[in-house]
Structure 1
Amino acid sequence: MEINYVEKGRRIFELEIEELHRVSASLDESFNQAIALLKRALDNKGKIVVVGIGKSGNIGHKIAATLNSTGATSVVLNSQNALHGDLGIVSDGDAVIALSYSGETSELLDLLPFIKRSNVQVIGVTGKPDSTLGKHSDVTLLTTISREACPLNLAPTSSSTAMLVMGDALAMALLESRGFTEEDFSRFHPGGSLGRALLTKVSDIMRSGTSLACVGLDATVHDALSAMSMARTGACIITAEDGTLAGIFTHGDFARSFQENANIGASSISDLMTVNPITLNSDSLAAEAVNTIGTHRIDDIVVLDSNKIPVGLIDTQDFARLKLI
C-alpha cells in the first residue's frame, strides 16, 4: 500500500499550528515586561544578547537576525566560547534572551552566573516554568507544548517552532514600541528587491508626461481610448475643470462595458469611469504602492501631488520590470 506523504506532511503542519495556538493563548503580562526590558536596553544604548544551545542556538541566530533587521542591535553569544573570552560581548545595560526548552541545558546554566555578574536582565524562553532557567530569569516567556510534531515525540519540532515564533513576536512588538518605520527599515535592507522597494519613491516609478493618459470630464470613451493608445497604458485619468481627480477609466472597464453596448465610443467618460479611485502621494515609498495594489487587488494607482492634482499613474506591470517584486 502506497503511503500518502502529503497527508502526513499536512498533519505535521496541523500539529505545529495547534501547539502555536496553545503558546499564543498562554501569553500574559510577562510579554509586556519583556518588551519593556528590551526597549529600555536599546533606549540606553545597550544591545540584545541572544544565547542558546543546539536547536535553540539555531533559533537564536534567526531571532538575532530578525532583531538586527528591524534596528534592534543584537548579537549571538557562542556558548562554547563564552567561558573562554566571548563573555566580553555582554556589557552593563544589555538585555539577554536565553533559550532552552527544558530550562536545564547545562552549558547555558553554567553561563548564567557569569552573565548576571554584569548589570543585565535576562529573558528566559523555556517550556518549563519551574526549571532553573525559569527561576533565575528576570522575565520568563513560556513556550510550553503538549507534544512534538515528530512521530516519535522526540525531535525538536513543535518546541523549536514555538520558540522561533516567540522570537518573531518579540521582534515585531519591539518594532512597534520603538515607532520603527518603513524608512528606518530601508536603511537596513539596501540590497535586492526589498531594498529597491523601500528606497524608491512613487515619483521615481510612476508613469508621467507622454506616458500618462489624461482627459477631462467632457471627454468621450473614444477620447479616453485614444489617450491610452498614445500613452501606451491601460488606464486613463479623468480630471475635473480645476485639475483635481474625478475618476479613472481602464481597458478592463471598456471591455466590460463593450459587452453590454458595442457602440459605447460616443458615451461620456463620466458615465463609465470609476470615481474615488485608489491614490497615493508622489512622495510615498514604492513599497507602499506594492502593498496597496496587493491589498486592494487593483492594477493601477493614481498618483497625486501635494495639491491633490494627478501627476502620474502606477501600473502593476511596472513592478516586475523595475524588479520591485
Structure 2
Amino acid sequence: PTLYLAEEHIEWLKIYLNNYKNVFMLNSNDIPFVNNEVNLIYHLENKALSRYVGNYDDFILVYEAKKKQVESAYERQQQEINRLEDFIARNKARVSTSNMAKSRQKKLDKMDKIELMKDKPKPTFDFKVGKTSGKHIFETNNLVIGYDEPLTKPINVALDKGMIVALTGANGLGKTTLLKSLLGMIPPHAGEIDTVENIEIGYFQQEGTKNNYNTCIEDFWEEYPGFNQYEVRSALARCGLTTKHIESKIMVLSGGEQAKVRLAKVMNRESNVLLLDEPTNHLDQDAKEELKRALRAYKGTILLVSHEKEFYEDLATDIWNCEEWTRKLF
C-alpha cells in the first residue's frame, strides 16, 4: 500500500493501522513500515510458507538462527552419510561382513535427507560511467512544466557535477514531469533549460510498457542489438534474474523483476548523469541495499525521485522539495 504514497501519506497510514482494531494482512517491501505495523510474519520461500511471531527484525533473527541450525544438521548428516557409504563400499563384497553392510544400507535408505534451501540470486548493480561531464549539468530559468495546464510556478534550480539530488514531495506535483522535461520528452510551458555538452543520460522509468509480450531477452535485445545471447543473459543475471525469469515474457514478471530488467538496460549504457524515477518501487530489501551501494559508487551525477526517506536520506547531497514550487493547494 505504500508503493506510490508520499511520506506524509505513509505517516497517516501508520497512524490509521496502529489504531485499527481488526485484523489486517500486509504485503510490502517497505521494511521500516512493516516493522512499525505487524506482529506476525508469513515467509514464502521455495514454495513453503512459514510463520514467525514478531515484526520483520524479529523474523530475521529467528530465520537466520534457524538457517544456521539446518546448515549444521546438514553437515552432520553428510558426515554420517559418507561414513555409512564408506562402510558399505568396504564390506558389501565380504561374506563375513555383507550382512552388516546391508544393515547400514537399510539405515541409509530410511534416512530423511536434509536439503538446504537454495539461496535466491542476489543482484549486483554496476552503472557504467561515460566520459567526464562539465561542471554544470543543467540549470532551469523560470521553468514552468506541465501537460495541458501548468503544474508549477517558475522553477530555478541547478544540477552540478557530482551532486546526488533527491526529488521529493506528494504525488501529482510534477516530479516525473520534471524528469521528462529535462529529457526533452515534454515541452515546457514557459522558461528554459540550459544544458552543457558531453552529457550522457541514463534514464530509469517508473513503470515499463504495459502488456509487453516480449521476453526479457527480446526486450533487452531491442535496446542492445549488438549484444550476443551470452552477453544479454549475463547482463540480466547480474541483476538477480534467474534463467526462468530471463526466458519469460515481461508481462508475467513481478513488479520487482520488471524493475530489474529496466535497471539492467540503464546499467549497460555509459552515462555521466542518472535520472531515476522511483527506482526502489517493487524492489526487495536485498535489491534496495545493492542499488544504494551502486549509486554511492557511481562517479557521475544523480537526480533521483523517491518517496522512501530511508533510502535517500543518507545518500543524497541535496533535497529538492517539489511542494515549494507547486501550483496545487494543500
TM-score (norm 2): 0.20
- Greater relative CO (CA pairs within 8 A, separation 6+): 2
Q: Which has the larger radius of gyration?
A: 1
TM-score (norm 1): 0.20
